[in-house]
Amino acid sequence: MFLHNSKQMMDWSELSEKYPEVFDVKRYRACVRLKSGHVGVVDRKGNVLTKLGKFQRIEFAEHDFVRVVDEPGFYVDLRSNTLFSYLPEIKRMGSIELLLIGGFIYTRTSPVYGVRGSAPLAHPGRDYLYVSLPCDSLAEQNKWVKRMITDRHRAVCLLAGDADRYYWLYRELSDGSVVVMDDKAIFYRVVPAVREGKVTAHRKRMVQMKSVADRTMVEEMVGGIEQELAERRRRAEVEVMRQKEQERWERMKQWVGALPFRMGNKWGLKLGERMVVPPLYREISAPVGYYCAVEMLPRQWGVIALDGRVVVEPKFEEVELLPDGSALLTLFKGKTKRVQLPQSP
């Protein structure tokens, strides 16, 4: 019997009464020989977690692998019960782990999925919510995968925090979430959730395909989600613009009282020693409220706000700012029009 140290021997001493040999112990698991002669991995209660053949011995390796000591030796991934001739390289993408060995990428799901290629073929989603892998062949997959996935991304999808199985990527949505399908043709929308500071996938069941005609329903549901996301983005953009405009007006309130100043042959605005509008204009009038009239070229007048934003393009013969917040614009002699200038919200 082989054990790492005396503490482990005390913790696992009862196993020696139940199993002919205990080869190795690591935290809550032990490598043992079963009474049938097979080797395997058991938990503290003696429940068999993994059962292998009648090999010489097994011992724990890194990254949840066991090494089978025999002729020839090999490694077993305890997560997927997959055999490898040597220990694969681990590629971590967020909380998702992939195995790289012999020019292939393997998942650690059960069943395992493998694809020929290297790590760059794996595509991480936003914040590593998911990782997608290309699909070499659908020949062995069920009818729903063939009908729903072949003309899409042809990709397998691994979800953060869901290490047990893989899904089929159906649609990447504009907010970084995804729609996936399992082998029972059940569709889920997958959105991020944060648990203990880590991003994990939260699945929301949408619908299960019963017939090919249901494809239209799936498309309509996905389209509805995209419309909702677009409207949410629009509302967010409007709110951002509103806040920026509010902040702009608050700044301009501080600049009321600014006066024209001249530098060379150009005019601008100053508030004390602070330059509010740089000297860009041929002439500038004293502000009326939040606005002042400016002349860019001879007889080409317009209106700017105190922050320099052009409100009326300088193309009028004359501009008169009125106390009621409007401007009287002279198009040409005798022809005028009046416009209302934006006021503080």
Confidence bin at 34 (pLDDT 50/70/90): very high
Q: Is the distance from CB of 91 to CB of 122 less than 8 angstroms? A: yes
- pLDDT at position 13 is 67
pLDDT tens digits, residue range 88-104? Answer: 999 999 999 999 998 89
- pLDDT at position 89 is 94
Collect all residues with Cβ–Cβ distance below 8 Å to 270 and sequence separation of at least 6: 258, 259, 260, 261, 276
Q: Is the distance from CB of 45 to CB of 18 less than 8 angstroms? A: no
As beta bridge partners, residue 57 has 69
pLDDT at residue 260 greater than cutoff 80: yes
Element (H, E) at 236: helix 214-254
pLDDT tens digits, residue range 245-254? Answer: 999 999 999 9
- pLDDT at position 5 is 44
pLDDT tens digits, residue range 73-86? Answer: 899 999 999 999 99
Tell how far CA 260 is from the center of its chain.
50
Confidence bin at 12 (pLDDT 50/70/90): low
Single-letter amino acid, residue 102: G
- pLDDT at position 141 is 55
Collect all residues with Cβ–Cβ distance below 8 Å to 243 and sequence separation of at least 6: none
Domains with residue ranges and CATH for the chain: 1-87 (2.40.10), 88-210 (no CATH), 259-340 (2.40.10)
**Percent of the chain, pLDDT > 90?**
63
